[in-house]
Chains A and B, each alone.
Chain A
């Protein structure tokens, strides 16, 4: 709520203007029955035709003002909604872009996506709708009641008595139906899951001849969905007839009480006629309020989800840490790191690399290989110890300056739905010759030519490329900036041996100043590196050259033996 208010505030002036117009337009709607009552009770006895026509013209004028006011106001409302959403999306996306990876892990990527899409959409719709119906309906209800009060306060009281009854019905029905709908959603999820499992497991199901069993399983969930739907909707089915009935009975009461008032000379029959019209207006307004309410609560929930992201604290700001005088390019100084703050994912990592050296990191899944690269680029902060690049703690760098040093290919890295050239460049100030050179170095020039050159566009996630082509493009991207530090995380697994070898040669020859880190599952990918780090469950099992490790590190020997066969040697 606060969030929405904050974003609407800059347009408060415009919005109040719009709402005033809306208010005036809506009031015009309310004048019509009033004029009708006036005609019947005051003009008719005068038998003056010109007066009737004059009042009729006034009604026409009111009708015009009503349409004019409402259209203008609705358009202004749409304008406010547009500006609000534009800024909200901008700020939210900006915030998401600068969240630390620890925070992103906490929110999860799918959840951030849905906050950025579904939730902002809900808010957009709500901001527009609230200004239109959310204002109009209450004005109609309150205004209707107010006008009837001036017409005849006693009759108006009769009408007002019905409103609490209606509110009570709305309250009871929604209170009972919300848990039922929650329940229904769960059954629907179960049903969807069964279908999904059947689609993905069709081979197993057919192989084991469990088709009939699956039909029964679906029968069960299908029946459950039907029952839950019934239960939830039955409750909802109550509200509309009940509300209608309440208002209609109020109408009967108005006629009865009205008859007595007219008889005692306190009211006129035209007033009662007008009352009947106001009743219909109020009834319809009440109906739209209930509709708006469901959307309101939905949008509020969305706003809250957006707000939690927006109010997340800024992490990863530069810290004043004095520089160390050292020759090494990259230093991990007794680093401990944990994702959840409880058990360590990396422990006592301690090594250094000179400029231009290459490091291979190897170890089982979950050993912490990619985490190590993440610390180096400051996606996460260490718990203890320090990571230094060129003598300066990574936490002391301006983030942009730090990351400018890197060229990186992540595990399962992403290609965007843009041209090949743009995918290599991704927004950096690099000229075409540089891109082409990088593509050549990444052994990608040949197939880029075949695909249609740098201008050829890729599908989302590069689905129109083979695994090897994707990896070469990603490597070209990493090389294009002539990085100080190159990180290749499991990024040559789909390359054939010759391409892989040529790539390594090129990097060695043409990127001699670049400190390279290669993360791999396979010994063959790292064994030519200057240094190899063996990780197991977050700890250093060994550090050294291939030959040294074959002598000293049990795990490294075991992995080598498994991958290269018995008796394999360097």
Chain B
């Protein structure tokens, strides 16, 4: 654990080291700016000493000399500080940019399985918030640490040169401040954790209840829910209060130690002064240095906490970058050309987890232009076949051949481009309708795109929109209905005009009229192609050249409608039920009868 942390830090440093010269300059600037700023009190002390003799005796030459120096030093320090800020911003932005680029490029080349098993929100939070955390920490904390260390060292040195014995005051106050802050943080740490947990619970409750407000209203539960809220809210604000109650000590305590050192310095300083060992200017300078000295001690503790969260964020980022990529194509992989659409699966074994086989010794042939129907309840089973055909996952045993060639001997991109997919959850991105249709073929001409849209029966709808093909599909594509979204993805597939097709027929949330249009467009898309259809309609299933019956993830039967009927197996019993009742509409896994067909 400790080792991995060191590793993370080293890798972070590697990112920074690409800007080694900039960093070096930044360190130089930090040192410079702080040195100049720290010189100030000493200079002012000297100036005050020149004033000290009092009425009529002020040594103006010296005062002007040191005041002038002060001005110059402060200006220089401010300039350097500004330059430093700008430099660090530039460096840390570049680091973040590079990091985000690395994450994304890695993501883009990852196998589909990664996205199946990782929540999108988590990926997003890594690429945005985590990199931001790292970034903030790099740009400010590192500089801060340098600045603090320099401040501590320099002000200690200055105080030592002014009056060594007075520094003894800090032998008392510094350990005191360390002890106090540690005691407080230790107490508050647990309270802060409790506080964020309680807040999380409150937020969860609020989200659940407001989302379900209609139900709560229907059952007159407004007042009961309010009671529950009061309870949870009470806990949340109480936890917040408790943590505040303890941290309320922090600021004043640190301040108290400041004041304590100041008091001690004042008293002892005056004594020393009276003993003739210190000038008044020295006392003033010493007081200023002592303020500067004790400030960063607490800051360093804060920064250390922040750095830890940055390292934790970096760990999460590197975990993405370290994910295995989709394996490269075989070195002698060839591109698939002039595809006929002859697909064969030969004794294929497959499972998402090595010890849970979903397909076992599975074979299937689809001749060019044939249609294969996949039927069964919703679940992993139907997408498995799609995953294998598109080579989103590789088979564990057996072979899949396209036009007689083993899939594994082909480049992935040429294999995938030989297919089109129209899936039930349509994918459209933020962009114009035109770009969305032409997504697979950025080189397509306007005529081709419009022809594809016409073929998908969506052209008229598009032209009726105020911006036509240039209409932006906003985030959730709320300006088009579900059925129209489906038609747009059909148009995208039309434009690709591939020899092979994967189609998900389900149109459950579309009203009857649109459903008919979609059905028509799908039929036209399927013409002259080798098709794998996730089928829901009896008519589609009956006209298929081959039917695969999928149940709980594995293929339990296959054959034509006639042969399956003749077999009097599972398919037969279910179709009988469905033709007697005319309509079955279930895909429940736990029912007792467990019929599996979902036919409209």
Contacts and interface: CB of A to CB of B under 8 A. Distances in A.
Please give me the 3 A-B residue pairs with the lowest Cβ-Cβ distance, nearest first: A364-B511, A273-B284, A74-B248
A318 interface: no
Instruction: Tell me what chain A mostly uses at the interface: helix, strand, loop, or mixed.
Output: helix
A519 to B, nearest CB: 14
A280 B211 contact: no
Interface string B222-241: 10111001100110011011
B255 A29 contact: yes
Interface string A472-515: 00000100010000000000011111111000000000000000
A56 B263 contact: yes
Given A416-B212, A562-B600, A498 B591 contact: yes
B90 interface: yes
Given A36-B266, A207-B416, A269 B51 contact: yes
25 contacts: A39-B270, A70-B251, A82-B238, A200-B120, A207-B416, A207-B417, A207-B419, A214-B108, A215-B104, A222-B101, A225-B100, A251-B40, A251-B44, A256-B64, A259-B50, A259-B63, A272-B48, A272-B51, A280-B291, A410-B215, A426-B221, A497-B585, A497-B593, A564-B582, A565-B539
A172 interface: no
Interface residues of A, number: 161
A78 to B, nearest CB: 4
Contacts of A461: 208
Given A215-B104, A413-B215, 15 more contacts: A97-B222, A113-B211, A121-B199, A195-B107, A200-B427, A202-B112, A218-B104, A226-B93, A240-B85, A241-B82, A255-B67, A273-B48, A273-B281, A495-B591, A568-B582
A109 B211 contact: yes
A177 interface: no
Contact of B115 (A101, A199, A469, A481): A199
B130 interface: no
A59 B78 contact: no
B478 interface: no
A270 B600 contact: no
A563 B508 CA distance: 12
Given A44-B274, A199-B123, A414-B211, A495 B255 contact: no
B395 interface: no
Contact of B207 (A59, A113, A214, A277): A113
B89 A273 contact: no
A35 B249 contact: no
Contact of B51 (A43, A85, A201, A262): A262
Contacts of B593: 496-498
Contacts of B63: 255-256, 259
Interface in A231-253: 233-234, 237-238, 240-242, 244-245, 248-249, 251-252
Given A63-B256, A213-B442, A195 B284 contact: no
Contact of B583 (A248, A268, A427, A524): A524
Contacts of A96: 210, 213
Interface in B31-88: 37, 40-41, 44, 47-48, 50-52, 54-58, 60, 63-64, 66-67, 70-71, 74-75, 77-79, 81-82, 85-86
A403 B255 CA distance: 60
B291 A416 contact: no
B330 interface: no
Interface in A75-102: 75, 77-79, 81-82, 85-86, 89-90, 93-94, 96-98, 101
B535 interface: no
A104 B77 CA distance: 56
B291 A404 contact: no
B439 interface: yes
B581 A98 contact: no
Interface stretch (A46-54, A387-395, A545-553): A46-54
Contacts of B233: 86, 89-90, 93
A29 B259 contact: yes
A365 interface: yes
A402 to B, nearest CB: 9
B51 A44 contact: no
A196 interface: yes
Given A63-B260, A493-B585, A263 B241 contact: no
A112 interface: yes
A562 B512 contact: yes
B50, B57, B213, most chain A CB atoms within 10 A: B213
Interface in A95-124: 96-98, 101, 104, 109, 112-113, 116-117, 121, 124
B305 interface: no
Contacts of B210: 96, 109, 112-113, 116
A86 B203 contact: no
B201 to A, nearest CB: 10
B245 interface: yes
A241 B173 CA distance: 30
A195 B55 contact: no
A414 B215 CA distance: 7
Interface string B571-595: 0000001000111111111111111
Contacts, number: 455
Interface in A189-239: 191-193, 195-211, 213-215, 218-219, 222-223, 225-226, 229-230, 233-234, 237-238
A316 B295 CA distance: 59
Given A251-B70, A494-B588, A117 B206 contact: yes
Given A82-B237, A497-B593, A524 B416 contact: no
Contacts of B343: none
B581 A524 contact: yes
B202 A226 contact: no
A565 B416 contact: no
A82 B419 contact: no
Contact of B255 (A33, A70, A259, A410): A70
A467 B589 CA distance: 9
B32 to A, nearest CB: 13
B516 interface: yes
Given A62-B259, A188-B128, A469-B590, A75 B248 contact: yes
A262 to B, nearest CB: 5
B208 A270 contact: no
A331 interface: no
Interface string B276-320: 000011011001100100000000000000000000000000000
A258 interface: yes
Contact of B74 (A55, A74, A249, A426): A249
A67 B253 contact: yes
B584 A497 contact: yes
Nearest to A191: B128
B375 interface: no
B105 interface: yes
A321 to B, nearest CB: 21
A268 B55 CA distance: 9
A115 to B, nearest CB: 10
A52 B104 CA distance: 68
B513 A79 contact: no
Interface in A265-312: 265, 268-270, 272-273, 276-277, 280
Nearest to B252: A70
A530 B548 CA distance: 40
A367 B582 CA distance: 25
A31 B356 CA distance: 76
A367 to B, nearest CB: 8
A565 B256 contact: no
Interface in B101-159: 101, 104-105, 107-109, 112, 115, 120, 123-124, 127-128
B475 interface: yes
A90 B100 CA distance: 42
A110 to B, nearest CB: 9
A49 B207 contact: no
Interface in A129-156: 132
Interface in A145-195: 188, 191-193, 195
A97 B584 contact: no
